[in-house]
A and B are shown apart, each in its own frame.
Chain A
Amino acid sequence: MAKPKPSKAHGSPDYMNPATLEALFGQSAYGIIVIDLESTILWENQAFLRVMGAPAGLRESRLLGVKMKELPNVQGNPVGALILRLIHDLPERMTLEEPFESVYGKKMFVKVEVHRIDGGDGAPLGFIGSFEDVTIFQREEQKIRTIAEEFLDLDLSTIDKKDASTGHSSKQERMEVVEQLVERLRQREQDLSVLIHTISHHLRTPIISVSGLMGVVRQAAHEGRIDDMNQVLSEIESSMSRLSRTFRSVVEYNDFGAEVEETTRISTNNMIEAVLLSLSKLIAQHGATIIVDPNLPILTGHRKRVQRMFLEVIKNAVIYGSPDQSDHVIRVYPETGEGIQYIIVEDRGPGIPDSVAHHIFQPFARSHDDLKEDQTGVGLALAHRIAQAHGWGITVELSQGNCRIVFSISQPNKPKPTRDRPIQKLQPIGPP
């Protein structure tokens, strides 16, 4: 049923007559009340009681009307204030949309629209008001905001202007948020599609190798070419090994990005020490020197995943850092800025080719033959997933001769994710 639009013209429904009101608005989904100039509620439908948060079983609201007048907290709330303004100013029409606490303590968000009822001579008789409970709508908007800010990392500050009259963002602003959400989700979908194709390609390559080489080895066996057979069988083993590593990496990439539920306090220095111990053979092979600042911060996170995060980043620096052993220095040190703690892993080598730098945190960013040391191309992507799962930022900063992986960490855990550090203008690394 439509909301009331009282008319001043002769012959319009008698809005002061309860029987007429019952016939017109009794079953309305909107809460309807009629009040006189003394602010006494003359008539209301059941929907009004529901919208106002009246307790179950209350059959009529004259009592509610009295309470609304009597209770100071009601007079102080927006709906009470609206009624008082109506009585005082006698406007033809007023609207209000604001959160308030009902007389029974329920937190609500009600949209109120009030029309003046005039008598045949044009003198005001009272008001008819429609009340719409938009609490659910507001909760939905809040959900959208939560998704936008926490999951899609959208900055809503520019569109989150409060409308002075309604107290919340305008419809246009909400639409802008939704449009941004849709765009971001579309981008996510596109990224997912690329990821699936990339993984598919990396899994398919060794399968093609093994299946094709089986035919070659069969032919070699048939012709008694033992040397050829041995060579081909080695290739099959190599392909199977690559396939196995790729499978494991894909599973880890999925698992390590899951929400972090159990956290402990972690000494980053102790953790880096453990990482360096596990990488000691690799570090020795590459002749790398690792310098760790003794004042790295205490972190709160998932111990196993955080350790893996540092392991992947340091391993990347060791393998792809400076090929010149005399200059193969990796530094791990903290920085602070604007309330954010940074942990930086810095090496002096090219580290990451420019061609892949912009998508280095995507799995399989490097091509097969750019990969060294049996890497699968998922290491930095894994570190990125782990950082994200903790709400930390991770960026790569490249300059001639320097490569930095920068973790941006908020401590203690903040409700919002820490944004990536803006790209810094790098200076060459000085002597340690």
Chain B
Amino acid sequence: MTAHLVNILLIEDNAAHAIIIRHAVQQVDPNVRLFHLQDGAEATKYIQSKAPYDDVNKYPRPDVVFLDLNLPGSSGFMILREIRAEGEFRYTPVVILTSSESREDIRNAYKEGANAYLVKPIGFLAFKEVLGTAITFWAEHNQVP
């Protein structure tokens, strides 16, 4: 469990996967605040602090972004590019969390600036383990400018 409050932005279109991640995160670390967005357009607004996400206190800059690759409206890669183009988010750790095991997706993710690429595991316990490890590393131990 992290020693301080951690804000995580989850960009995930699959409702079932979002439920699993939310429950897993809650059990792994009660100090985590999860902000869930379902599509690329919403994610862009959040990143650019546009309404309805213009209140920084309500929608803070995340410590870690969990990003799915298949999103309606735009691909996860486009969101990743936008995140890296936005000065405030340039160093924010972005963890790709996807069902895709494609080598091309993995290569493109790192090319576009992802910090890690995690394949969604099978089973709730595995989800807890993967997410717990990722949160601890990227939000607790990792240092960003």
Give the interface of A toward B (CB within 8 A): 194, 197, 200-201, 204-209, 211-216, 218-219, 231-232, 235-236, 238-239, 367-370
B13:A368 contact, CB within 8 angstroms: yes
List of A residues within 8 angstroms of B101 by Cβ: 197, 200-201, 204
B-side interface size class: 20 to 34
List of B residues within 8 angstroms of A370 by Cβ: 72
B14:A368 contact, CB within 8 angstroms: yes
Q: Within the complex, what minimum Cβ distance (angstroms) separates B12 from chain A?
A: 11
B16:A215 contact, CB within 8 angstroms: no
**Most B CB atoms within 10 A — which of A212, A215, A219?**
A212
Determine the main DSSP class of A at the interface with B: helix
Give the interface of B toward A (CB within 8 A): 13-17, 19-20, 23-24, 27, 39, 70-72, 99-102, 104, 120-125, 127
List of B residues within 8 angstroms of A238 by Cβ: 16
List of B residues within 8 angstroms of A200 by Cβ: 101
Across the A-B interface, give the 9 residue pairs with the lowest CB-CB distance, nearest first: A215-B124, A212-B20, A209-B16, A369-B72, A197-B102, A235-B16, A205-B99, A367-B70, A216-B23
Residue from the list A207, A209, A367 in contact with B72, Cβ < 8 A:
A367
Q: Within the complex, what minimum Cβ distance (angstroms) separates B111 from chain A?
A: 18
Report Cα–Cα, A197/B100, bound state, in Å.
8
Q: Within the complex, what minimum Cβ distance (angstroms) separates B11 from chain A?
A: 13
List of A residues within 8 angstroms of B14 by Cβ: 205, 209, 368
List of B residues within 8 angstroms of A207 by Cβ: 122
A216:B71 contact, CB within 8 angstroms: no
B119 (CB) vs chain A CBs: closest residue? A204
B16:A239 contact, CB within 8 angstroms: yes
B123:A368 contact, CB within 8 angstroms: no
A208:B121 contact, CB within 8 angstroms: yes
**Residues A211 and B122 in contact in the complex (CB < 8 Å), given A197-B101, A204-B99, A369-B72:** yes
**Residues A212 and B72 in contact in the complex (CB < 8 Å), given A201-B101, A368-B13, A368-B14:** no
